Amino acid sequence: MLSKSIESALNKQIRIEAESSQAYLAMAVWAEVKGLEGISGFMYDQSDEEREHMLKLVKFVNERGGHAHVSELKAPSVSFTSFKGMFETLLEHEIFVSESINELVHISLQEKDYATHNFLQWYVAEQIEEEATARTILDKIKMIGDDKGGLYLFDRDIMQLTVNSAADITAK
C-alpha cells in the first residue's frame, strides 16, 4: 500500500510525464510544419515514449492501492526560434525530469518504500539514456550551425535513428 506522500509524489510525476509527451508532440508538429520529417518523426516517437512512461506510473499507483490522478496539463511551447533552441529545450526538460525522478527516489528511501524504490530504478536508467540522446543531438546541431545542407543531412540521419529505435522495440 502506498503512503499518501508517495502517492502524491508519484501523481506529480504522472503529470510531468504527460506534460513531457505534450511538449514533444508540439515539437514534432513544429518540425513537421517546417518540413523536417526526420526530426518530426523522432519527436513523435519521443512523445509516444513519454506517454508510456506516464502509463507505467499510472498502473503502478493503481496496483499498489493508490489512485492515479489524471490532471490538467501545462500548455507546452508550440514554436521555437531554431532547431538548436528546440533541442536545448528538450535537454533542459530531460534534466528537469531526471531531477524530479531523483527526488522521488529520495522520498521512497525516506519512507522506506522499497517496492517504489525498486520500481523507480527503471526511470533512473531511462533518464541516463534520454539525457545522453538529447546531448548527442544537441552537439550535432551545434556543429551544423546555420548550414541548411547540414540540417537536411541531419534530418535524414535522425530518421535512421528513429528507424533503429523502432527496430529495437520490435526486437524486444
Q: How far is the CB of 35 from ligand FEO (least distance, A)?
A: 26
Q: Is 13 in the site for ligand FEO (CB under 6 A)?
A: no
* Residue of minimal Cβ distance to ligand FEO: 53
Q: Is 7 in the site for ligand FEO (CB under 6 A)?
A: no
Enter the C-alpha cell of residue 86: 528546440
> Distance between CA atoms of 45 and 39, rounded to whole angstroms?
10
> Distance between CA atoms of 40 and 37, rounded to whole angstroms?
5
> Distance between CA atoms of 106 and 113, rounded to whole angstroms?
10
- Nearest residue (CB) to ligand FEO, 36 versus 43: 43
Q: How far is the CB of 110 from ligand FEO (least distance, A)?
A: 23
- Hey, what amino acid is at 24? Y
Q: Is 113 in the site for ligand FEO (CB under 6 A)?
A: no
Enter the C-alpha cell of residue 8: 502524491
Q: Is 19 in the site for ligand FEO (CB under 6 A)?
A: no
- Nearest residue (CB) to ligand FEO, 3 versus 102: 102
Q: Tell which one of 7, 19, 130, 155 touches ligand FEO (CB under 6 A).
A: 130
Q: Is 36 in the site for ligand FEO (CB under 6 A)?
A: no
Q: How far is the CB of 171 from ligand FEO (least distance, A)?
A: 21
Specify whether the CB–CB gap between 86 and 80 falls below 8 A.
Answer: yes
| Nearest residue to 52 via CA among 114, 130, 105, 115 | 130
| CA–CA distances in Å: residue 85 to residues 17, 77, 79, 138 | 21, 11, 10, 9
Enter the C-alpha cell of residue 142: 551545434
- Nearest residue (CB) to ligand FEO, 29 versus 144: 29
Q: How far is the CB of 146 from ligand FEO (least distance, A)?
A: 28
Footprint on this chain of ligand FEO (rule: CB under 6 A)? 17, 20, 50, 53, 94, 97, 130
